[in-house]
Structures are given as C-alpha cells and as structure tokens.
A and B are shown apart, each in its own frame.
Chain A
Amino acid sequence: MTCKKYGLLMSAVLDGEASEKEKNKLNEHIAHCSSCAKEFEELKRVKKFTSLRIAEAAPDFFETRVLQRVKDGQASRRPAYIKKLVPVGVALLLLLAGVIYKTNIFQTNVSGNDNNLFVNDKAEQNFDKALLDLYFG
C-alpha cells in the first residue's frame, strides 16, 4: 500500500468508517513513516476544526412562510378549465343581474294586477330613461 492510499485510510479512520484491521494497518504504517504520521496529525486537526461547526437555526416564522407559499402555489396551479370558466361565470352573473334589475322580479307587486306580475312599466321606463341619459346626456 502506498502512502497516498494511506491518506484515504486516514480520512476514513477519522470518520469512524474504517475496520479494526484497517486501523491497525494504518497504525503500523505511521509507526515507521514520519511523513504519514505528520499528515495524520494534520488531518486530525482539520477534522477537529470542521467538527466544531454547529447546526444553524432557521429564520423566524419559517413554517408560516413555507405554508403561505404552498397555498399561493396551489392557487396559481388551479386547473386550466376552471380558469377559463371564471369569465364565463362572471358574464352569466352580470346577465342574471341585468335580467333581475330589468324585470324587478323581486319587487312586490302592489298593484295586484296579475298581468303586471313580472313587468313594471314605470320601472322599465325609468330604467330606459336612465340608460338614455347615460349615453346621450
């Protein structure tokens, strides 16, 4: 085994990933190879420094922000057919509102005239007048 290969073994020993047999092999080698012994000491120190590093706490309100982004994402990922149906629905609602307004369907028929149940002439005339005023001033 070359000194270069012992380098790999040193790293594995430091990480607790070497077998007892491999550890013994390394120990035997560094007992008579001063450059590898020096290298092993240096790697031990590097390991000591890098293992000083600790976990970092995530920023405040992390979960809340993630959840909000998930919700935002879900909203923007609605199926295409739903997106297409939105303007159709709005148009239908407007049409329905226009019909209701025009016919005064919810207005109480105070005259008691059954023929005038759905159409209030006076209201219709007022609506037409308002519309003409709106367009022609």
Chain B
Amino acid sequence: MIGAAHRRQGKPCQDASQVCQVGPELQLLLVSDGHGGSRYRLSDVGSQLACAAAEESVAALARTLSLQDQDGWRRQLAQELPTAIQQRWLRAIKEHWSSQAASADEAFSSALYGCTLGLVLLSPDWWGCTGIGDWDLVEIHADGDARLVNQEQLSNATGEATLSLCQSEALDAWSTRVQLQSALPTTALVLCTDGVRKSCATDGDFLQLCQQMLEIQGEALVQGLEEITAQGSGDDVSVAIAQRSEPARRGKAGVLTALGAAAALIAGALWWWPKAPDPLALEIQQLCQHPERIEASLKQRRQQFLALKSSPAQAQALLDHPERDPLGALIASSAPGAKAEPKICPALEQALRAQWEAASETQEPSRAPARP
C-alpha cells in the first residue's frame, strides 16, 4: 500500500510484496522496501526486482535441495542464497538501467535501486527466514500469543538508516537474520515492511495489529492498510501473511487412513495460503480512487509503453506475474489489441489511451522512409 505521504507528494509506492509457491511443498513470503530520497529514485523498481530475484533464487535452490535437509537450508539461508539473490538482482537492475534514457548521461549505481528484502520460506515441517534491512516478522501461536521474532538491530544506526540489498559488503549481515524452526507451534506469520510498525504507537499495538490482520482479508485489509499509513507513519506499508488452515475433520481422516500418515502430513503441509488481493484489481482500484495520481504514475512508465509498443510479446511476462509489477501489468493489459482489457474508470482509460498514442507518435519517425 502506497504511503499517505508518498501519495501526497506524487511519489510511487516503493514497497513490494509477494506470496508464491516455489515448489510442490514450498511457499514463499516476500516484502521489499525501496529507500526514499533522491539518491534512490528507482527504488520502486528495485523492490519489485528484489522480490522477483528472491523468488527465482529460492525456486532454483528448491530444485536441488531436499526440504528434509534442514541443516542444508539453514546454511543456504545464511550465505549462498543471499549471494544468489543479490547477483540476480544486480543483473536485473543493470538490465533495467540500460533501458533508461538517463543511462546515456548518468553513471549506473546500484544505490539508485536500493531496497531492503525480507523472505520467509514455508515448508510442511519448518519455516525459515533471511533478509536484509528493516523488515519485521511476527509469529503467532494457537493461543493468540504474538511475538516479534525477527527485526533489524543495528548498533550504530542513525535515524532511518538501514542495511540494503545494494551493499555487497553487507552480505554477512543476512546471517544475523537467519531463522529456521519447526512449523508446529506456529499458527501464523506476518512479514511487514517497517512502515507498519512505525505507524503503531507501541510495539504492543503492533503485535495486536498483526493478530487482527489474521481475521481480515480482501478489501477490508486494503482499507485497513490505508488507514494505518494515513494515521501513522505516512510511509508505504506492506504485509505478507501466512496462516495455518483448520486440520482435516475426523471423519475424513478416518476414511483416508490407508493413505495414512502421508495424507495427514500432506493436508497438514498445505496450511499456508496467500492473503493478498488480486494485484491488478488493487492497482486499478487505487488509481481510480485517486485520479490525481494517474498522470504522474503513467508518465514515469513512458519507457515501458515504448518497449511494449515495439515488442508486444513482453506484455505476457507482465500479465503472468501481476504481483511483481501491478502497474506494468495494467499497462500491458491496456495495450491496443489486448485480448481482455480490464474494467477501469474513464479517467484511467483516457490517460492510458493518451500514453499509447504518445508511444505511437514517438515511434512514427523511425518508420519514415529514408530520403534518397
């Protein structure tokens, strides 16, 4: 959710969050918070690419490392996985930078895309986490007890300083955030960017808020996040939640006895489900509710319009993963000739049409025949 202060200033949301399945029995929660300030002007892109890099890296690891090898996963969370994520992210941001008009005049710096990253892995028997920066993780037990189990602790931090994905020298710091523990006592996990905790009067209120989030979903959660940022820190606020489902009923367990323990284990394993609303619908809703933001948001994506105009095949990648870049997915879905255009408000429709027309006009000179 974009922060109230960012909305007022016409800045983009610099947070990204994601929940996904990366293997038959492995799920992933991700949050990333792009740094603010003019030094980090592409951090909204950085945070989205960070989530994508993390998903790809964990998926690649899951293909080679058994979920039963908890020691192996713990080692990976501390060292190899952070390195893999950071390298993927650096490649992705360099690729993005090369498509920027400013790259001709300005030197590349990974700080431009600087962001934090927190990830939680969920398997049938254990959950684990790692990451960098000022995200928070709350664990909730069946008795309702909520505890802050992971947070950034910098000894010499000044003000809003945090460690970042763009700092290769900070790779060692990931190991201080590594946890891997049995899934059993945990009923739910709430992973947040720092804007949530900073919006609460005290840590006690923050823990209570996390407990309340388990009872809320869809539109109510979205509106609640809006209120949190508006009345609190004004910062972007993002959450990724995992919650254990109810155990199988006794009758069914009796019937499935032949499959026995395996079935029960599988049923017990599939206890996580994402709590994020449809990202594309959410993006449309936010823009249509705040039409004053539409022009600025689309203007920043001018290069994306041009890229999609010249290479329509790129649209599918955006549409397949709307959670990574909801605005990009919206732009892709609105392209002339798109199979199914989403329902949007007139202001947004008009603004998108104007951008597509501008993109066509920009491309026209290149199609002009050469003079003899």
- Asked if A pairs with B, the answer is no
Residues of A within 8 A of B (CB): none
